Structure 1
């Protein structure tokens, strides 16, 4: 009778660690965290959102883009939708996060060859997976997500897709320290979801673009009388709200640049020195506006014209 083959030590050690962490019932059988044995358990039943698997919402997922996303992205390109319309779709769709394998623990073994020379061999003891993340032009972290598997593999063929609801993806982005979520990088339309919208999706709350936020406008209106030389302060979409498709079509939403423009109209456009002081004072005062900091991703100040 042949002896049972021996597994490599690091593999056997990993198996032993996993077995040691398993929950067991009173009779020593594998069980869940409540001590209920897995043996004989019936996991059949109706699934989530049409799935046949009660534990998985994406059992029947074909890996293609959701029809709602296809429609709203085309409407955005055609000028028939805006950022609010896109947000409403993102609240409800499945996306794919990209993960790659990583080494969680490495072992080093020293060997001596026949000449008496030592050399070290490095081998993986444990592996894990990690979310792929990006760094935006302004240095902030960004989580890429994809509306379909083909778009993910076209962007990074070594990555593996993990299906997740968009709000859950945004929650993971926040947990990982990312302020932005980039939808379909490298595709015809790449759409950037900025920090306030990411946070709103993660918390499943409503969101209004900063340039349409009435409460921000009310807060800023109180600053007008405090700034010498300022006649009027207005809000408008920032230059970074718009983006372009790969064929150069300008799209009014999904850009990564400044979200909110504050247009400061002076009492005297010809007073160059006075207007510089006005803009400097405005910049100092808005830095202390907590609501603005929370609801506006990035702000640019522009000098308006009285003409």
Structure 2
């Protein structure tokens, strides 16, 4: 209530007399904040009055009736992965239409003493929460439900987005991994190639099952006379564990791809090591291979493995 609207206790007894304002003031830091934020229009000059932010006609609000529970399609895909009837591709496909929650926290961007001599928050930013994978790579955590987000970080606020938008946020933050439900019973990791595919709303094929990489591998083998064969397989980091210790065939942070290398017999240890280093350099220099493979492990097979 402003000073112009407040009248003294005796104003009603003298209807012809002008109202006498009472000298009541808001605390200075609150008054200053209200002066900055209480504008009748938004930054584009559109009035706030009468605006309805609900409903499907507003592109900023796609989740008016959202109950904060996990998306049913994502839940079904994870259940199929656990039972062995589904795979990582099915989970990735479910994420393309699933609603997720990105955690944000308020951070003070600018503060100080205001014009009334009170400490005030002049500016506050909403920042995404980031984490690091065991190998040190940056990752963006997202959550399938509000409850799981709040159990993980009670001070974070949930921002509802579709899966591709969450992936775009991860790309913008230069994250290498998208981690769904960290700390929950089941945590699923979307590695960099899958994350980029999700952000671009296209299908994703794991590198260990990607037949388009076969010509690249064949060319690398043909270029080195000591290499007699290359065989691709899922890396040990593809599998992940649930909270109760069960192993599921997907959702791990890496290594994603294992290349079993066959080499010419009779090589010394130094020659074996040099051949593997050459192979790593050749594959790392291939743009297509680097884009499709998140993490690589090389292993020896055949006689060289026992050398």
TM-score surpassing 0.5?
yes
How many angstroms apart in 2 are the aligned matches of 1:9 and 1:242?
57
Note closer, same or farther for the CA distance 1:43–1:90 as it changes in structure 2 (3 Å cut): closer
Show the counterpart of 1:146. Answer: 143
CA contact (8 A) 2:29 2:119 kept: no
User: Which 10-residue stretch deviates more, 149-158 or 272-281?
Assistant: 272-281
How many angstroms apart in 1 are the aligned matches of 2:220 and 2:91?
32
What displacement does 1:251 show? Answer: 0.7
How many angstroms apart in 1 are the aligned matches of 2:190 and 2:83?
19
State which of 6, 17, 30 in structure 1 corresponds to 2:41: 30
State which of 232, 238, 248 in structure 2 corresponds to 1:251: 248
> How many residues are paired up?
283
* Structure 1: tracts of 5 or more residues without a match: 23-28, 110-119
User: Which 10-residue stretch deviates more, 239-248 or 53-62?
Assistant: 53-62
Show the counterpart of 2:276. Answer: 279
What displacement does 1:54 show? Answer: 6.7
Note closer, same or farther for the CA distance 1:6–1:77 as it changes in structure 2 (3 Å cut): same
CA contact (8 A) 1:95 1:164 kept: yes
The secondary structure found in structure 2 opposite 1:102 is: strand
* Structure 2: tracts of 5 or more residues without a match: 1-19
Note closer, same or farther for the CA distance 1:269–1:56 as it changes in structure 2 (3 Å cut): farther
CA contact (8 A) 1:242 1:253 kept: yes
Query: TM-score if structure 2 supplies the norm length?
Result: 0.82
The secondary structure found in structure 2 opposite 1:208 is: coil
Show the counterpart of 1:91. Answer: 96
What displacement does 1:140 show? Answer: 1.6
Show the counterpart of 2:56. Answer: 47
Write the deviation string for residues 161-183 of structure 1: whole angstroms up to 9, x where unpaired.
11111110111111112121100
Show the counterpart of 1:114. Answer: none
Note closer, same or farther for the CA distance 1:205–1:54 as it changes in structure 2 (3 Å cut): closer
What displacement does 1:246 show? Answer: 0.9
Show the counterpart of 1:180. Answer: 177
What displacement does 1:124 show? Answer: 2.9
How many angstroms apart in 1 are the aligned matches of 2:266 and 2:244?
39
Show the counterpart of 1:116. Answer: none
What displacement does 1:40 show? Answer: 5.5
CA contact (8 A) 1:228 1:278 kept: no
Show the counterpart of 2:14. Answer: none
Q: Which has the larger radius of gyration?
A: 2
What displacement does 1:210 show? Answer: 0.9
Show the counterpart of 1:226. Answer: 223
How many angstroms apart in 1 are the aligned matches of 2:42 and 2:105?
30
State which of 252, 259, 262 in structure 1 corresponds to 2:259: 262
What displacement does 1:18 show? Answer: 4.5
State which of 289, 292, 296 in structure 2 corresponds to 1:299: 296
How many angstroms apart in 1 are the aligned matches of 2:222 and 2:235?
24
CA RMSD of aligned residues (A): 2.7
